[in-house]
Structure 1
Amino acid sequence: MGNQAAYNVYKQNSVYTASPGELTLMLYNGCLKFIHQGIKGIEEHNIVQRNENIKKAQAIILEFITTLDMKYEISKQMLPLYEYMHRRLIEANIKNDKDILVEIEGLVTEFRDTWKEVIRINRQKQNIGDLV
């Protein structure tokens, strides 16, 4: 098995064995990756690269929107933020606007970093519970 094939198997297994929290973190990281590639597409005047990557980032944000559980107050607070990010990604793609992508990159980074902290706190609580 070549290095690339082995890496692909590893990536696939990491998704299959990830907790829901880890999967969410992977989605945030993927969204950031696609935003970076969208920025690169704008900088390099590569319309296809820009369009494809911004659309992938949009799809991730749309997934976050559709999977929110609206029985929780936090979901009701997150929905307008996700909708704003989705709308701005569409606008960035239409207008070929790097500044909008940089803005959304900042928001997604904040969400991702907050999510990382939630995972860290939950792991600490689990470890303490395991000791008791």
Structure 2
Amino acid sequence: MNAYNQLKQYQAVNRETGIIDADPHKLIQLLIDGALERLLIAKGHIERKEIEEKNRFINKAIEIIGGLRSFLDKEQGGDVAESLFSLYEYMEFRLFEANASNSPELVEEVIKLLREVKTGWDGIREQVAQPTAVG
């Protein structure tokens, strides 16, 4: 087995272990990271004119973003959940456009938006991870 295959196996095991041990907040972080990774790969495929691979990675990112959107609880999340829902819908729409037009710029737009969401989500990690006091 060559070093590349060993690295891929290690990454797969590491990812699976992270998912098994993850709390709900961490799962969202992993999904966002997964979508970003696929979008960066898709952008590279667009630039190299590797259309089939570009299509595969954009579609995977769309599926992940759709999953993120479906996890939102608008009742508990209120305006924030509503805003995220709309933002995720917009990202999906832009990725459909990027896929149809082979536009690395549209993919980059979604990457930037998703990074902003990630920054906010990562920023609340401490609040979510702290045990709540029973009063």
Which TM-score applies when normalising by structure 1? 0.86
Per-residue CA deviation, residues 18-70 of structure 1 (Å, 9 max, x unaligned), is 11100100000000001101100011110011101100110011111212112
Bigger shift: residues 78-87 or 2-11: 2-11
**Alignment-derived partner of residue 112 in structure 1:** 118
**Equivalence for 2:63:** 59
Q: What letter corresponds to residue 21 of structure 2 in structure 1?
A: T
- Structure 1: segments with no counterpart, 5+ residues: none
Distance 1:25 1:61 in 2: 12
| C-alpha distance in structure 2 between counterparts of 1:110 and 1:35, whole Å | 15
Q: 1:83 aligns with which of 71, 89, 93?
A: 89
Instruction: Say whether 1:10 aligns with 2:11.
Output: no
RMSD: 1.9
What is the total number of aligned residue pairs between the two structures? 126
> SS of 1:110's equivalent?
helix
Identity rate of aligned residues, in percent? 26
Range that drifts further, 96-105 or 62-71:
62-71
Unaligned runs of 5+ in 2: none
- In structure 1, the partner of 2:103 is 97
TM-score (norm. length: structure 2): 0.85
- 2:31 aligned to 16, 27, 31, which one? 27
